[in-house]
Chain A
Amino acid sequence: GENVEQHPSTLSVQEGDSAVIKCTYSDSASNYFPWYKQELGKRPQLIIDIRSNVGEKKDQRIAVTLNKTAKHFSLHITETQPEDSAVYFCAARSLNTGFQKLVFGTGTRLLVSP
């Protein structure tokens, strides 16, 4: 089955810096890669996603890149703000699974210091 690895586990940056979180996946049949943000005590919420037919997607300060050959995808946050502090999870979904099953990475705790 699909396996998703995520790095780093924690990331501390100064306000205004960029942050990059990387994930790798194992199943070459995976075709959907969302990123979720979870603030303390809150539910996970989608911030951006990418499908396997594109290599990059941007939404204001957030971008995701996908390298299908290398089987990895990354989240880029520019001009970080303290409110970006949260845990970020990547995920992947494989066409090989019989159901619409998401496999999540282990999470990255991002701390943005003012």
Chain B
Amino acid sequence: SAVISQKPSRDICQRGTSLTIQCQVDSQVTMMFWYRQQPGQSLTLIATANQGSEATYESGFVIDKFPISRPNLTFSTLTVSNMSPEDSSIYLCSVERGMNTEAFFGQGTRLTVV
């Protein structure tokens, strides 16, 4: 298993500002992922956070809007930049210990942009 601590759990932010979400894992993992889950919707992968190299972004997501850091094998951050109300969503980090193994999720960050 994996214990994932994600914070903040929720925040209300002004449009135009940025929020950095942190994800801490209890042990080293190779792959960390960031997802967005809009209200009542499925999980959409934003990017894969790779330790020692740049994150790999999915179609529709760009580094300028969602910069990601991965300084070591237990920690990652996702920043939501220049926020607008459309960025209001739940953001989740996820880790996997190996190919085709269980994905574990953080508790999520509920972001509201006003």
Name A residues whose Cβ lies closer than 8 Å to a Cβ of B.
Answer: 31-32, 34, 42-46, 49, 51, 89, 93, 98-107
Contacts and interface: CB of A to CB of B under 8 A. Distances in A.
A44 B31 contact: no
Contacts, number: 44
Contact of A107 (B42, B45, B100): B42
Contacts of A101: 33, 45, 48
Interface in B31-47: 31, 33, 41-45
B99 A102 contact: no
B45 A100 contact: no
Nearest to B98: A100
B31 A99 contact: yes
Nearest to A106: B42
B41 A107 contact: yes
A73 to B, nearest CB: 14
17 contacts: A34-B102, A43-B105, A43-B106, A43-B107, A44-B43, A51-B100, A93-B100, A99-B56, A100-B99, A100-B100, A101-B33, A101-B45, A101-B48, A102-B103, A103-B45, A104-B43, A107-B42
- The SS class assigned to the A binding surface is strand
B42 A31 contact: no
B92 interface: yes
B87 interface: no
Contacts of B99: 100
B102 A43 contact: no
Contacts of B43: 44, 89, 104
A94 B19 CA distance: 32
B78 to A, nearest CB: 16
Contacts of A104: 42-44
Interface string B95-114: 01001101101111000000
Contact of A49 (B33, B92, B102): B102
B100 A31 contact: yes
Nearest to B35: A104
Interface in B64-114: 92, 96, 99-100, 102-103, 105-108
B70 to A, nearest CB: 13
